[in-house]
Amino acid sequence: MQPSAPDLETRLREGLPLLFALVLVTIDLTPRPAPAGGGIAPFLTLGAVYFWGVYRPDLMSNAAVFAIGLVYDVLSGLPLGCSSVALLLGRAVMVARHRFFYAKSFVVIWALFVVWAPAVELVRYAFTAASLGVLVDPLPLVAQCGLTIALYPALSWVLVRLHEQVRTRAYAEP
């Protein structure tokens, strides 16, 4: 059966978080003037997965997180699955502790991101290192993580605006 017009719109709006996260993947991997290793750039996708994992895990399902990680690996040339595993584990922690996040101030959420983001990056580093059989200097990843944490408030501001677009149709009706 074909979904009616409002249903279709609702579904499209609910797909916005995933779509926006995929846009963030492409922004993360856009070439910038940098040395051969790619220089330091934020991993904004990580911020998006955290945001939806904290506030609306229903809009960023496990399947969506898996797809985001897979697309990231395909485009970046990393062994497939490394980013997916790390992001899925990260989201699972958010979902398991979702009651804790309810009614917390932004500063607390941001402070937890300072712990969560390096932990997820550490898991990704471990899986990539194991898959490639090589250890590399983790300093660029530390710098990347720091930049991602610094930019999280700005990213949150955008994602809050995006959430308003998702909510309009899906939850405004009585």
Site for other proteins in 99-158 (CB under 8 A): 102-103, 106-107, 127-132, 134, 136-141, 144, 153, 156-157
Question: Among residues 85, 119, 122, 151, which is the contact residue for other proteins, using CB under 8 A?
Answer: 85
How far apart are the C-alpha atoms of 51 and 68, rounded to whole Å? 14
- Taking the least distance from each CB to other proteins, the nearer of 120 and 144 is 144
Nearest alpha carbon to residue 50 among 174, 165, 145, 169? 145
Q: Within 10 A of 83 (CB to CB), how many other CB atoms are there?
A: 30
| Sites for other proteins among residues 34-53 (CB under 8 A) | 34-38, 41, 43
Using the contact rule CB under 8 A, the part of the chain among 2-10, 92-100, 111-119 near other proteins is 92-100
Q: Measure CA 13 to chain center.
A: 18
Neighbour-count burial of 16, counting CB atoms closer than 10 A to its CB (0-12 exposed, 13-18 middle, 19+ buried)? middle
Cα 97 from chain centre: 17
User: Between 115 and 165, whose beta carbon lies closer to other proteins?
Assistant: 165
Q: Which stretch binds other proteins (CB under 8 A): 3-11, 77-85, 111-119?
A: 77-85
Decide if residue 167 touches other proteins (CB under 8 A): yes
Spell out, one character per residue from 55 to 74, where the chain touches other proteins: x when CB under 8 A holds, - when not: xxxxx-xxx-xx--xxx--x
Minimum CB distance to other proteins, residue 169 (Å): 13
Q: Please, what is the minimum distance in Å from the beta carbon of residue 1 to other proteins?
A: 22
Are 131 and 79 in contact, with CB atoms under 8 Å apart? yes
Tell which residue, 107, 110, 68, 125, has the closest CA to residue 91. 68
